[in-house]
Amino acid sequence: MQKSGAEIVIECLKEQGVDTVFGFPGGAILNVYDELYKHSDEITHVLTSHEQGASHAADGYARATGKVGVCLATSGPGATNLVTGIATAYMDSVPMVAITCNVGVSLLGKDSFQEIDIAGITMPITKHNYIVKDVKDLATAIRKAFIIAKQGRPGPVLVDIPKDVTASKTDFKSGVVKTNKVERVLNEKSIDAALKMIRKSKAPYVFVGGGAIISEADQEIWEFVQKIDAPVCDTLMGKGAYPGNDKRYTGMLGMHGTKTANYGVSECDLLVVIGARFSDRVTGNAKKFARNAKILQIDIDEAEINKNVLVQGIIIGDIKEVLQKLNEKLEPQNHETWVNRILGYKQKYPLSYPTHGLTGPGIVEEIYKETKGEAIIVTEVGQHQMWASQFYAYTKPRTFLSSGGLGTMGYGLGASIGAKIGCPDKVVINVAGDGCFRMNMNEIATAVRYNVPIIQVVVNNHVLGMVRQWQDLFYGKRYSATVLNDQVDFVLLAEAMGAKGIRATTKQEFKKALKEALTFGKPVVIDCQIDSDEKVWPMVAPGAAIDEVFDETDMEKKE
């Protein structure tokens, strides 16, 4: 049957089970949007306020559901506005397909109106991308894009389609595309070598990253931890892969990790790394990282092995499959003395914060209490992000969504809309700083337009908090361009866009506002006023080893 390129785009999306796309139309992509209109009963299009919001919404949808997120944009600035969201997805291994449309084939390379080489621009930040210049290749390109996006280590794929290709017709047949997928067989020698390392260890530690969530290996991790008899820490991206309320859980590792995790990893004799890539925010001084330990790394991506930290044991493969094999062969270990030592650290070095007044950690703890730990928490980037990772116990995968690799301010609001649309029965709360909220706060209008009842909590300290913290500690209190002393009123702003706005200046006011927001059934913005000098503790200074972690008490003692 003959179909136009635009019709093929829609048919391929339906083949892939896509029921929701996020985007913003323009001239070059009009043919696709015309077909979307005809299929609005099958595919819901969410019109965001900005293309970046569309890319973040597709990302949030993907992270919360495990499905491939889809975003659409037109040529030129429409396509370039997706770039930050594509890069965010790439850094955090999020499956996404971005479909852009370009000027006609005959106009390519001529600096035509709203022409941009989006395939060239996104080449370093996609798993793969296509520019489809012949309508006969279109179906195959889209089908392959979805396979590549979710196969192996997931990531974003871009498909760029010139406008005349969306209008051209060709024969179309429903079906699937054949791929040259290589079935990876686990190396039994590497499994046996890992088991030997584990059995020899007297003081093992388990370190869990985002790959564990992507692999949906939380049950296997639980069983492995019980068998190996070890404490557990995680990365920002690994939140929820192991229950944050379990006694073995010691918190996050790294720059703003707990003292327990940082000391424990520095003292262990075996570090089992599951789906983590040794980010500089985790390792601190890489030469001093886990210097007393042998490291066993389990990862699906061979490129991550020995990239940042040299390891002694390697298993390449899907984490779920690897752990099933290890659990099958591993007899229960006993490290009672070691585990009790780490549990002693947990008691000696608990996370704490001032209890007087409204504070960032207090806000997050109140959210945890009111949602009973069952919400999807989304964040922007900065101090509030760290507090959300420290003071909310994540017990399930896909309940903490944050830009970990790229650190994208403005990520959270769009991502929370995508997450809520993907998981309508879950409470979805975006925790933002006032600096981050400004980046894409126009997406409140999107939430209102579609009545997506997200809760936007703005931790408002009237400064760029994390940057100011560094200026305070390392730059002699020279607050260059970090004070937000303007007159923006987020409550009035929310009301202007049709949402409910509430201001909270005390713990009691925030508790009341949150209770109201949880039952309101419409988008709510809560503007929480906190002190400008509140800091994230503990902290590791840049270039220091992670066991040189310090907090406010340590600074006072030093002074």
Report the chain's terminal Cα–Cα distance, integer Å: 78
186: amino acid identity, one letter:
L
> Rg of the Cα trace of the chain?
24
Closest CA to 268 of 341, 331, 330, 196: 341
Looking at the DSSP bridge assignments, the partners of residue 233 are: 207
> Would you give the distance in Å from CA 254 to the centre of its chain?
17
CA gap 331, 363 in Å, rounded = 43
CA gap 407, 436 in Å, rounded = 11
Contact 327, 220 (CB under 8 A): yes
Which two tokens mark 278? 């040794």
201: amino acid identity, one letter:
S
Output phi, psi for 427, to 5 deg: -75, 130
Residue 91 CB: number of other CB atoms within 10 A? Answer: 20
Beta strands in 103-230 (DSSP E): 128-131, 156-162, 169-171, 204-208
Using left for φ > 0, alpha for ψ between -120 and 50, and beta otherwise, residue 407 falls in: left
**Burial degree of 7 (CB within 10 A; 0-12, 13-18, 19+):** buried
3-state secondary structure at position 236: coil
Active site members: 51, 113-114, 163, 466
Using left for φ > 0, alpha for ψ between -120 and 50, and beta otherwise, residue 288 falls in: alpha
Which two tokens mark 432? 């933002």
**CA distances from residue 16 to 20, 39, 174, 251 in whole angstroms, order as listed:** 11, 15, 11, 38
